[in-house]
Structure formats: C-alpha cells, structure tokens
Amino acid sequence: MSDDGHQSAATTREVVQRYLDSDHGDTSAMAPDVVFRLMATGDEYRTPAGVQGLLEYFYHQAFDARAERTRLVVDAGTAVFEGFVVGRHTGEFAGVAATGKQVRIPLAVVYDVRDDAIVEGRVYVEIPAFLAQVGAGT
C-alpha cells in the first residue's frame, strides 16, 4: 500500500478474494465506513452490518442463491466481479412476490479498495432478466 491509501493490484485482489471466498460472509474485508450502492435503484447500505443485512436479504430471503463468478478483473484499488445470481426466488424482490422459480440473473459488482479494505461496492443486477425469468415481464 502507498502512503495515500491506494492499493497495489495484488493487495486489491487479496482483499476482494478473501471477501468472495467467504460467500459474502466475511465483513472483516470491509472498511468501517463501507457503502454498497444498488445502481438500479440508488439504494445505499452503509457499514459492514448494513451491507451484511443487504446480502442476507438478497441471498437468503429474496432468493436461496449464491453468486457464481465468471470473471474477476483486478487493477490497483479496483476489482470488477462479473457473474450470476444462481438459485431459487423465495421472497419479494423488485416488486415480485416469491415464485419458487429457478433463476440465473446477470450480476456485476465494482469494488473500490483502500487501506486494505473494501470501501465501496457498486452493484449492478439485471432486473429485466430477473423479471423475464419469473414471468413478470417488464
């Protein structure tokens, strides 16, 4: 890490990989003032506990699902996850009540890393793909 808090690509990869390897459960990889933004809605979740609440809702209430990675691109201070949310739609999401249907929703997350911790996550979930998969249309 440099004196200004910016990370090398290797450190960025290590921090993000530790978080991803925990299936989003290890919030120790997050800064105390972390913020995750859902880019489709503008909703923000702050602090590790707030982000954990978002992830708990998303992966274990709205869905019984996991993130399936297809690509992780890392540069100094930034990592981009590309993949899918894979599982069953088990609770309300995007205004749609639980359908019980299997889903495979495209997902991308851009992580910013500073001072050995994730400071921001910008989450892009393809809601139109979800709506089509559960028969809700757009």
Q: Answer yes or no: is 87 within a domain.
A: yes
Let me know if residue 76 belongs to a domain.
Answer: yes
CA–CA dist 138, 135 (Å, integer):
9
- Residue 1 inside a domain? The answer is no
pTM value is 0.92
Residue-wise pLDDT tens digits, 71-108: 999 999 999 999 999 999 999 999 999 999 999 999 99
Residue 125's nearest CA partner among 91, 92, 84 is 84
Q: Which residue has the tokens 């489709």?
A: 40
Residue 3 resides in a domain: no
User: Residue 43, SS3?
Assistant: coil
120 lies in some domain: yes
Q: How many domains does the chain have?
A: 1
Share of the chain above pLDDT 90, in %: 91
Residue 3: pLDDT over 60? no
In-domain check, residue 21: yes
29: domain range?
Answer: 9-133
Does residue 2 form part of some domain? no
On whether residue 99 sits in a domain, the answer given is yes
The CATH number of residue 28's host domain is 3.10.450.50
